[in-house]
Amino acid sequence: MPKYFKIVADNRKARFDYQILETYKAGLVLQGGEVKSVRQGSANLMDSFARAEKGEIWIYGLHISPWGTADKSKIDPIRPRKVLLTKREQLKLAGKAAEKGLTIVPLKLFFEGNWAKVELGLAKAKKKYEKREALRTRATKREIEKALKGKTYGRNR
């Protein structure tokens, strides 16, 4: 059991844009100062996606800023990064991603113990009307909570 669990980056927009069908926890291959940079929280999952190529899963668009004293010319901050999954999980994920309308989206970047991990989601894109519906329901819930917050129940005045 890991001693601690620290979320470094969260892709909140992915949960708004996509309907997450399944999630997978996987390791991530990092080089040199990238680990220290991720520990400092200088990673960005926005606009990142994963793709299955030649039986392996790769993440594209994951931006990890170079660490302060590292040689910045050697490591590209948005280079593709390999995801570490079991062979069975890779084949399953690649097969499902090949289906029409499904994609692999990184949801969280976190540390489990001393290991950098990424949570991948098998996702289906939401339509515009589904996104508007989600915004509408969130707004009505907020209004109801606000209305109930001001009311006092059980007191006689």
DSSP character for 107?
E
| Per-residue pLDDT at 109 exceeds 90 | yes
Range of the domain at 19: 5-126
Would residue 32 be called left, alpha or beta, if left means φ above 0 and alpha means ψ between -120 and 50 degrees? Answer: left
The 8-class DSSP code of residue 70 comes to S
The answer to whether position 155 is within a domain reads no
150 belongs to a structural domain: no
Q: What confidence tens digit (pLDDT) does each residue in 66-108 have?
A: 887 766 667 788 899 999 999 999 999 989 888 888 999 999 9
What tokens does 118 get?
A: 């990424």
Burial of 10 (0-12, 13-18, 19+ CB in 10 A): middle
Domain-located, residue 23: yes
Residue 49 has pLDDT above 80, yes or no: yes
- Kindly state the DSSP code that residue 143 receives in the 8-state scheme: H
Q: Is the distance from CB of 63 to CB of 78 less than 8 angstroms?
A: yes
Where residue 21 sits, what CATH number does that domain have?
A: 2.40.280.10
C-alpha to C-alpha distance for 138 and 61, rounded to whole angstroms:
29
Q: How many domains does the chain have?
A: 1
Distance CA(116)–CA(77), nearest Å, equals 16
Amino acid 110: pLDDT: 93
- pTM over 0.95, yes/no: no
| Structural domain includes residue 80 | yes
CA atoms of 109 and 131, how far apart (whole Å):
24
